[in-house]
Amino acid sequence: MGVSVYRRFMDYRFLGRTGLRVSPLCLGTMNFGNQTDEAEGHRIMDRGLELGINFFDTANVYGGPGGPTEEIIGRWFAQGDKRREKTVIATKVYNGRDPWPNASRLSARHIREACERSLRRMQTDHIDLYQMHHVDLDTPWDEIWQAMELLVQQGKVLYVGSSNFAAWHIVKANETAGRRNFLGLVSEQSKYSLIERTVELEVLPACLDYGVGVIPWSPLGGGILGGALQKVTEGRRATERIQQMIEANRPQLEAWEKLCANLGAPPADVALAWLLANPAVTGPIIGPRTIEQLDGAMGALDVRLDGEVLAELDRIFPGPGGPAPQAYAW
C-alpha cells in the first residue's frame, strides 16, 4: 500500500467534452480582496502561470460589494505580457449585491448585464467559462440559453458551466440546449471531497454521461483534510468552525492523518490526489492565500494512489456507496 511519485509535469486535461485544455489544478481567487491583498494576489497569479496553472476561477461577487476580485484580476491582465492570453478565466453569474428585483438570478436581462459588468471589471473582451453560480428554478431554460447563445454569438462567452446543480438540473439544461443545437453545459462546480461525497450518487454519473467536467470546490473539506489534527497538536489556533468540524469527525480524521503519515505524504496532497484519480474530475479548485500555499498545493500532482490506498480511503470515508440507485436499492 502506498503512493507513487513521478516526475512532475503539467498534465493538462480537457474541460469536459470540449477541446479546451486546462491545468489539473484550478486557481481559485475567492480570497483576493479579502484575506489576500491585491499585490499578493497578483504575485500568486504570476506564480500560477510560472508553475503551468492556466485555469483561474472567480465570481462576480467575490471580494465584497462591487466585485473587487474581478477588478484585481482585471488590473493583473492589464499588466500585459500575455497574461490574458495564457489564462483560461472562469467567472460566475447569479448573485448580486443590488436589492433591485432584476439584479440577480438568471433572467436574460440579468445574465446580459452581469456579463457586461464582469467584462469591464476584468478588462477583457471575453469570458472563457461563464458559470451559473446556482440553479434558477423560476427562469425557463429556453430563456437562459437564449441569453447565453447571444453572448456566445457576440464572442463575449466561449463556454457555459454550472455550479451547485443537482443531476436533474444538468440533464434538463443539456437536453434543452441540445434541442436548440447549442453546446450547453460543459462543466459543473460541486462541493466534493473525501468528507462530502453526496455528488457521487447522481451528479458525477450525470456529468460523466453528458461529458460535463467536474470542478470540485472545497476539496479539503473546509480545511480539515489538510492536517487539521496535527496543526492543533502543534499549537496552531483553529477557528471555532474548524474545531467543531474536527470534533464531529475526530475518529475519521485520526485514521486519515495516520494513513497519510504512513504514506509519507501531506494530507492535503493526498486529498487532492484522490479527487484527481476520479475520471469525472477535471480539476479541483485550490484557494491559496499566499504563494507558499500555492507552491505547497503543487505536491498533489506528484502523488499517485494505488488501489489499496483508495480502498482504505473508502473505508475511512465511505461516502454514499456509489451511484444511485445501486448505492441504496441494489
Is 6 annotated in the active site? Answer: no
As a whole number of Å, the CA-based R_g of the chain is: 20
Burial class, 7, CB count within 10 angstroms (exposed 0-12 / middle 13-18 / buried 19+): exposed
Q: Determine the 3-state secondary structure of 114 from DSSP.
A: helix
Which of these, 119, 179, 126, 118, lies nearest to 152 by C-alpha position? 126
- Whether 187 and 214 have beta carbons less than 8 Å apart is answered as yes
> Phi, psi at residue 204, to the nearest 5°?
-60, -45
Q: Which residue in this structure is represented by grid cell 497574461?
A: 83
- List Cβ neighbours of 19 (8 Å cut-off, separation of 6 or more): none
Which of these, 38, 50, 35, lies nearest to 74 by C-alpha position? 38
Give me the catalytic one of 6, 12, 62, 159.
Answer: 62
> Phi, psi at residue 205, to the nearest 5°?
-60, -40
Instruction: Give the residue numbers marked as catalytic.
Output: 62
